[in-house]
Structure 1
Amino acid sequence: MEVADLKVFEAVARHGSMNRAASELHTVQSNVTARIRALEREVGVALFQRNARGVRLTPAGQRMLPYAARIAKLVADARLAALDDGPPGGTLALGTLETTAALRLSPILRTFAKRYPFVQLSLTTGTSCSLTADVVECRLDGAFVAGPVDHPELHAETVFEEELVLVTPHTLRSIDALRSARDLKTIVFRLGCSYRQRLDALLTELGVLTATPLEFGSLDAIVACVAAGIGITLLPSGVVAAALAQDIVAVHALAPEKARVLTQFIRRQDAYVSSAMRAFVEVARIGEGTMMIAA
């Protein structure tokens, strides 16, 4: 079983398409199809079901996928460990919450890029749920997510602490006013966002069970929709400081136990901690004074 074939298998599984996997891998679809068929012959079972829209994993493929990603990651880590000498270099693929990117990471990334120019750092935004899955399945080296994270395959380190606030149009004068609000809409990121889950829990506690969620992929769009009177949201206070200063939204404090949220940096327990990762963590530690990571 070739590692290259496992990488092809993982890409096809992730995209649900031979053609899109081929584009990512910079090859042609016929080559991807041939590799998948050869892999299926080798393991003796079909890994994908073909249909008009693409492919999807069979039960056997679903069971095999976590191991394929792990094997490919272990081989990459072994190569990285052998070559990891001298100044930090190579690639570092990280993920982050949209709010963390907006509020915390700019000075850290600026310092890191200046100090370690040979590291090719990429940053992907997503929800806590999607980012955690990407780290577990070895698509990201690490990620900033909302904690607490309790996963047997992950190392989690608290790096920031945020205060969540309810953000509403000025027409809503208090949190209690939500109980009598008509056609209430929540302006949120897609499913898997921890702030969205906390907002849903808050509304349920208040007896508001009919709020309609409107999903957006941009933090600016969410704040703009709230300012326009379309709905409400739940965000870290620092993210909405500018909007509050402009007096375009209203902000309502929550009880401390509901407001406090931890941002944690996660990575696989079994992953090799490269010099690039160590360098990034050191820059973050200096920048924030709180971040630490074990070897």
Structure 2
Amino acid sequence: MDVADLRVFEAVARHGSMNRAASELHTVQSNVTARVRSLEQEVGVPLFQRHVRGVSLTPAGRRMLPYATRVARLMIEARTAALDEGPPSGPLSLGTLETTAALRLSPILSGFARQYPQVRLSLTTGTTCSLTTDVLECRLDGAFVAGPLNHPDLHSETVFREELVLVTPRMIGSVKQLASVPDLKTIVFRLGCSYRQRLEALLAEAGVVAMTPLEFGSTDAILACVAAGVGVTLLPKGLVSSIVQAGTLAIHTLPPRKANVETLFIRRHDSYVSGAMMAFIDAARASFGPVVAAA
């Protein structure tokens, strides 16, 4: 099995298109098509379903993709390791929760960019579930996610703790009052968000029946909907305190076992820790301070 074929396979799977993969790989579509067919013949099963809009993975292709992604990542890491000397440089792909980006990361990112201008840092936002998957499948070098999280392939370090609060329209006086609100909606990030799971468990424990959640991709959109009286959400207290002071929202503190959540920085155990990654980890530790030992 040729490494170049696996690289082509991974690019086609990511783009869902032979043509777009060819463009990324700086080759022609016929070459991509030939390499994919050669790989399918070698493994003995179709890896893609062809259709008018491009291609999609077969079940066999989906099972094979994580391995191809890891091989592609290992090739990048091998080159990075060979060239990794002197000041930190090169690409560094990180992920973060939307709330962490809004509340915690701006000072670190701006300081890191000034100190290490040769590092090409990219930041992706997502849910704990999606970010963890992206790290495991080597699409991200590391990510800030909500704990607890225990995976044998991941190195994790608690970087800070948050206090979560229930955020409601200002006319809601208590959690118990939610039970009398007709057609109550939760305003949340998409499925896979740990805050969403905590909110659903909190309401269920309080005997509150909520309607189908409304999903949004940004904190600002969620808070705007809550302020408009559409529903309720669960977010870090530091993110909403200043908005609450403006009088458009109400926050409700929760018992520590429901409110306290750790934010972890995760990366693969077997990944190469580049100079750029080590410099970023040091910057994060200097900003947040050590909270607990790494796992």
Does structure 2 conserve the Cα–Cα contact (< 8 Å) formed by 1:281 and 1:293?
A: no
Q: Where does residue 248 of structure 2 map in the other structure?
A: 248
The equivalent of 1:130 in structure 2 is 130
Matched-pair identity in %: 71
Deviations 1:125-150 (A, max 9, x none): 01111100000000000000001111
Counterpart in 2 of 1:268?
268
Q: Distance in 2 between matches of 1:202 and 1:294?
A: 29
Write the letter of the residue equivalent to 2:32: V
Aligned to 1:38: 38
Determine if contact 1:165/1:236 at 8 Å carries over to the other structure.
yes
Contact 2:184 2:209 in 1 (8 A): no
Change (3 A) 1:52 1:255: same
Residue range with higher mean Cα deviation, 122-131 or 77-86: 77-86
Match of 1:114 in 2: 114
Change (3 A) 1:28 1:219: farther
Moved more, 283-292 or 168-177: 283-292
**1:28/1:109 CA distance change after superposition, 3 Å:** same
Please tell me whether the aligned partners of residues 158 and 294 of structure 2 are also in contact (alpha carbons under 8 angstroms): no
Q: TM-score, normalised by structure 2?
A: 0.94
* Aligned residue number for residue 259 of structure 1: 259
C-alpha displacement of 1:218: 1.1
> Which residue in the other structure is 1:168 paired with?
168
Structure 1 residue matching 2:100: 3-state secondary structure: helix
User: 5+ residue gaps in structure 1?
Assistant: none
Aligned to 2:140: 140
Show the 5 A alignment for 1:1-295. 1-22=1-22, 24-25=24-25, 28-290=28-290
Residues 46 and 196 of structure 1: is their aligned pair in 2 closer, same or farther, counting only changes over 3 Å?
same
Give the distance between the partners of 1:122 and 1:28, measured in 2 at CA.
Answer: 28
Give the counterpart letter for 2:14 in structure 1. Answer: R
Q: Which sections of structure 2, spanning at least 5 residues, go unmatched? A: none
Tell me if the contact between 1:13 and 1:57 (Cα under 8 Å) persists in the aligned partners. Answer: yes
For residue 114 of structure 2, what is the amino acid of its counterpart?
K
CA–CA separation in structure 2 for the residues paired with 1:294 and 1:207: 37
Alpha-carbon distance between aligned partners in 2 of 1:89 and 1:291, rounded to the nearest angstrom = 28
- C-alpha displacement of 1:22: 4.3
Structure 1, 93-102 or 197-206: larger mean CA deviation: 197-206
